[in-house]
Chains A and B, each alone.
Chain A
Amino acid sequence: MKKLKVGLISFAHGHAYSYLASLAAMPEVEIVGIADESQSRVASIVERTGLPYYADYRELLATDADAIVICSENVHHARHAIAAAEARKHVLCEKPLGISVSEMERMIAAARDNGVQLMTAFPCRYLPAVTGAKAAIERGDIGDIVAVKGTNHGTNPGGWFTDRALSGGGALLDHTVHVMDLLNWMIGSEVKEVYGYAASRFGETKIDDAGLVHVKFAGGAFAVIDTSWSRPKSFPTWGDVTMEIIGTKGSISVDGFAQKNEVYSDLAGKGSWSYWGDDMDRLMIESFVGSLLEGRPVPITGEDGLRSAAVALAAYESAKLGQPVAL
């Protein structure tokens, strides 16, 4: 069996753990090592898996890895992805792809110039409810899309996420991009105008934790997304991905994590929702690996990552101006 050799740069973003688990479960993948400037952050994983550890990501890039999964702090995505591309490694980069349009353009150019593929990690495309909605739209079940109300609520992730010097932005950047990517994918029209609200409302943190983004598409459809880290500690789950899609001939409701049991345990001290649906991270990793092994284009590109992050960046500009901005 032809194997794909994959390395991981940084476990700063928690998704690295789930991506690693998905990779480890695939017989067609050989994990060649983990790079993280913080040895303590990955010590237990290195010990458990026995994988080679590199303090300097450039040493990992010097191996014969075919592909690199990047889960560093947002501000380091560009540096890591460009270095990986220049080392002729394919890249799967955690969202948001970058923190400025120019750096994301450089990431895309680096991949293109070095003949490697750049994929943005948007696992929500693999939620079964989302793929079902996409299929229904393509079948014409609801006619043309008129408007969408979406949410990607979350809990304040804390740590570097709330440090602008490492994250590049708060909830508006963190949580615009998932649903924005789904909108771009489903509507297939360019965003031409953005109105954003960003504020700090939910706790001690100074960075924006409350966000609303309105977009108008060139084709006439419009949408709003709530990006807030507004789920309290007492909430039964971490957050949500929902979309109410209004069409000319009907409507579609997506509640991405509705496949859940309700668990009430005195051990937890509160009720919780326990998701039992398909694992979107595993499906995304399988898609990334399969594309590379079979020499197909990755399904979610760097351009997709740029398109979504650019909306979040424009929303910050709009929030500052107090008026919508053109994109």
Chain B
Amino acid sequence: MRVAVLGCGGMGHVHAQSFAGMADAELVGVCDIDAELAGELASKTGTRAFCSFADMLEETDPQVISIALPSYLHKQAVLEAAEAGKHVICEKPVALSLEDTDEIIEACRRNGVRLFVGHVVRFFPEYEQVRRQIKEGRIGEPGVAHTKRVGGHPGIARGWFKDHAKSGGVIVDMMIHDIDFMRWIWGEVKSVYAMNACKDDSDYALVTLEFANGAAANLEAHWGDPGPFRYAAEISGSAGLIRLDSAASASLHVRTRAQAERDGRFAEIPQSPGVLSPYDRELAHFLACVRDGAVPLVTAEDAREALRIALAALESIQTGKVVLL
């Protein structure tokens, strides 16, 4: 399958390197308006670099476009790809408004191309295991859940994250992973209440979801946490609970003397390595769905619903009220 990647930032690197390592995928090109970024990624992955999306479409004739642009550029890119008859993989959030999302979904439908949205948490083995064990009834009926996703502020390296008109902020951009995960395990959400403090280099949110089944979850997300990036969840039910914690399951710690001499301390990077990364699993799954026409593990409608809940959280922050969905 011929795949091209649009956007050569952090996620673009992840996508391109993942496709480059797949036996049944051919990375035919990478594109970024920043020629240097595109060139760098192209040489890392052994493919061609482009500065123009139109040129890349024209010259490489990909079957699938993987879009890893800043969120506010998703719509334009998906529409162009769909019009060109290419299947689309788009990073989350699919868009920043429901209107744009509907336009995206409709354009893909009209052009007969598939649309996949990168809610990658569904491809993390620890979250997948939680979902499976809940479905097996291991913890009984849904009770109260917590999710946590915190790390440094991405806006310090890439300014557009700090502009909510471009990124949506910490809820729409990052907590949306956990919103999607909670819907995956507990089903539809009936109400949303949210609190947020956003100032300078910190965007912190606490969002409580009540589900149609009567259970509730409190989701925490922070851009600007002083510690390393980490995530955790605790799902409690009438017969038990399940906890996951990225910090606790880091299986590899590398400590080097060189780092210690440079930083004045034994800095260490905790890792949780696996044969395939969650992105490898996700992108391979999407390509398999293109190949055999299967329904993906996470649909465009799932992505739309996660966005709808995230936008309801923003409305709750504005009004101070509970928003009923």
Q: Is the CB of A197 within 8 A of B208?
A: yes
In this complex, the member of B143, B191, B197 whose beta carbon has the largest number of chain A beta carbons within 10 angstroms is B143
Q: Mark out the residues of chain B between 195 and 235 whose CB falls within 8 Å of any chain A CB in the assembled complex.
A: 195, 197, 199, 202, 204, 206, 208, 210, 214-216, 218, 220, 222, 225-227
B315, chain A: closest CB distance, angstroms: 14
Other-chain residue from B141, B144, B197, B227 in contact with A222 (beta carbon distance below 8 A):
B197
User: A137 to chain B: closest CB distance in Å?
Assistant: 15
Chain A residues lying within 8 Å of B46, measured Cβ to Cβ, are none
- In contact, A224 and B143 (Cβ under 8 angstroms): no
CB neighbours of A322 from chain B (8 A): 191, 322
Among B206, B236, B239, B321, contact of A224 (Cβ-Cβ < 8 Å) = B206
Q: Is the CB of B195 within 8 A of A214?
A: yes
Chain B nearest CB, measured from A15 CB (Å): 24
A216 / chain B contacts, CB cutoff of 8 Å: 195
Closest CB-CB distance, A154 to chain B, in whole Å?
12
A197-B210, A212-B218, A230-B143 known; A324-B322 Cβ under 8 A: yes
**In whole Å, how far is A286's beta carbon from the nearest beta carbon of chain B?**
34
Distance in angstroms from A52 CB to nearest chain B CB is 45
The 0/1 profile, CB within 8 Å of B marked 1, for residues 59-93 of chain A is 00000000000000000000000000000000000
Cα separation A324 to B323 with both chains bound (whole Å)? 11
Interface pair A246/B197, CB less than 8 Å apart: yes
Task: Name the segment of A27-35, A97-105, A199-207, A304-312 touching the other chain.
Answer: A199-207
- CB of B142 within 8 A of CB of A201, answer yes
Q: Which of B144, B197, B208, B322 contacts A323 (CB 8 A)?
A: B322
Interface residue? B241 (CB, 8 A): yes
Residue of B nearest to A153 (CB): B236
Q: Which residues of B contact A265 (CB under 8 A)?
A: none
Closest CB-CB distance, B159 to chain A, in whole Å? Answer: 21
Q: Which residues of A contact B143 (CB under 8 A)?
A: 201-202, 210, 228, 230
Q: How far is the CB of B73 from chain A (nearest CB, A)?
A: 31
Q: Name which residue of chain B comes closest to A322, CB basis.
A: B322
B240-A197 in contact (CB<8A): no
Whether A324 lies near B214 (C-beta < 8 A) is no
Judge whether B146 is part of the interface by a CB distance below 8 angstroms: yes
Verify A199–B218 contact, CB threshold 8 A. Answer: no
Q: Which of A203, A230, A250 contacts B144 (CB 8 A)?
A: A230
User: In the complex, what distance in Å separates the CA atom of A146 from the CA atom of B210?
Assistant: 24
- How long is the Cα–Cα vector from A235 to B143 in the complex, in angstroms? 15
CB proximity of B126 to chain A, nearest CB, Å: 19
Which of B195, B199, B226 has the most chain A CB atoms closer than 10 A to its own CB? B195
Determine how close the nearest CB of chain A comes to the CB of B205; give it in whole angstroms.
9
Asked whether, in the complex, the Cβ of A230 is within 8 Å of the Cβ of B206, the reply is no
CB closest residue in chain B, given A198: B216
Determine how close the nearest CB of chain B comes to the CB of A251; give it in whole angstroms. Answer: 6
Query: Does A210 lie within 8 Å of B216, measured CB to CB?
Result: yes
Instruction: Report yes or no: A232 in contact with B239, Cβ–Cβ below 8 A.
Output: yes
Interface assignment of B320: CB less than 8 Å from any CB of chain A: yes
Q: Which residues of chain B come closer than 8 Å to A202, judged between CB atoms?
A: 143, 236-238
B218 interface neighbour in A146, A226, A248, Cβ under 8 Å? A226
Q: Taking the complex as formed, is B193 at the interface, i.e. its CB lies under 8 A from any CB of chain A? A: yes
List chain A residues, Cβ under 8 A from B202. Answer: 146, 246, 248
Q: Which residues of A contact B320 (CB under 8 A)?
A: 193, 324
Minimum C-beta distance from B142 to chain A (A): 7
Q: Could you tell me the distance between the alpha carbons of A59 and B204 in the complex, rounded to whole angstroms?
A: 55
Cα distance A214–B191 in the bound complex, in angstroms: 15
Q: Is the CB of B208 within 8 A of A212?
A: yes
Does A149 belong to the interface (CB within 8 Å)?
yes
Contacts of A179 in B (CB 8 A): none
A231 in contact (CB, < 8 A): yes
Q: From B206, which residue of chain A is reached at the shortest CB distance?
A: A224
Residues of A near B195 (CB, < 8 A) are 147, 214, 216, 222, 224
Nearest residue in A to B235 (C-beta to C-beta)?
A230
Q: How far is the CA of A210 from the CA of B220 in the complex (A)?
A: 18
Q: State the Cβ distance, B248 to closest chain A Cβ, in Å.
A: 12
Q: Which residues of A contact B142 (CB under 8 A)?
A: 201
Contacts of A224 in B (CB 8 A): 195, 206, 208, 218
Docked Cα-Cα span, A323 to B321, in Å, equals: 6
A234 at the interface (CB under 8 A from B): yes
Give me 21 A-to-B residue pairs in the complex whose CB atoms sit less than 8 angstroms apart, sorted by A's number.
A146-B197, A146-B202, A193-B320, A201-B141, A201-B143, A202-B238, A210-B144, A214-B193, A222-B197, A222-B206, A224-B195, A224-B208, A224-B218, A226-B144, A230-B143, A230-B144, A232-B239, A246-B225, A251-B226, A322-B322, A323-B322
B-to-A contact residues, CB < 8 Å: 139, 141-144, 146, 191, 193, 195, 197, 199, 202, 204, 206, 208, 210, 214-216, 218, 220, 222, 225-227, 236-241, 320-322
Known A-B contacts: A201-B237, A244-B220. Give 10 more (CB < 8 A): A147-B197, A147-B206, A199-B215, A210-B143, A214-B193, A220-B197, A224-B195, A226-B218, A230-B241, A248-B199
